[in-house]
Amino acid sequence: MILIGDKLVPFENISKINQINEIENTKSNSTLSFGYNEDLLKYTYENELNSAVKVNSIKEAIYANALNAKYILAQKSLAKQIQKVAENYMFDSKVLAIIESNEELEEIATFEIDGIIYNSIIE
């Protein structure tokens, strides 16, 4: 299980962006986090940049995977649905449920979702 944002487990650098021009202000080799945005998604794909894309539908998740997002981020109930699709179609992207605290870890584990990311990391 992937744990991003947990105080106990070291994790990669995540840089939140809203526009392409903000990328130059991020740490090198960090994973770029953004809400689903086709322009940003195409840019990260074309430039082979790691991305963590927050999606609001299965359709957005399908596009994020097709454009090589490293992580697909979604609220718990949607993450559960996306995980089933991801397993069926063998997504390369990992599905991460957005959580508020480690009290939610067991619930996410029982849903068999790839991992979690704390909301505080992507706000």
Q: Which amino acid is at 18?
A: N
* b/e code 50-76 from CB counts within 10 Å (16+ = b): bbbbbbeeeebbbbbbebbbbbbbbee
The reported pLDDT for the residue numbered 123 is: 87
Quote the percentage of the chain above a pLDDT of 70: 100
Quote the percentage of the chain above a pLDDT of 90: 98
The reported pLDDT for the residue numbered 39 is: 97
- Residues with Cβ within 8 Å of 8's Cβ and at least 6 positions away in sequence, in order, are none
Per residue in 71-84, pLDDT (tens digit) is 999 999 999 999 99
Model pTM score: 0.96
Taking the domains of the chain in order of start, what are their residue ranges? Answer: 1-7+56-123
Spatial strand order of the sheet with 31-35 comes to 2-4, 115-118, 94-99, 71-74, 51-54, 31-35, 14-16
Per residue in 25-74, pLDDT (tens digit) is 999 899 999 999 999 999 999 999 999 999 999 999 999 999 999 999 99
Give the architecture-level CATH label for domain 1-7+56-123.
Alpha-Beta Barrel (3.20)
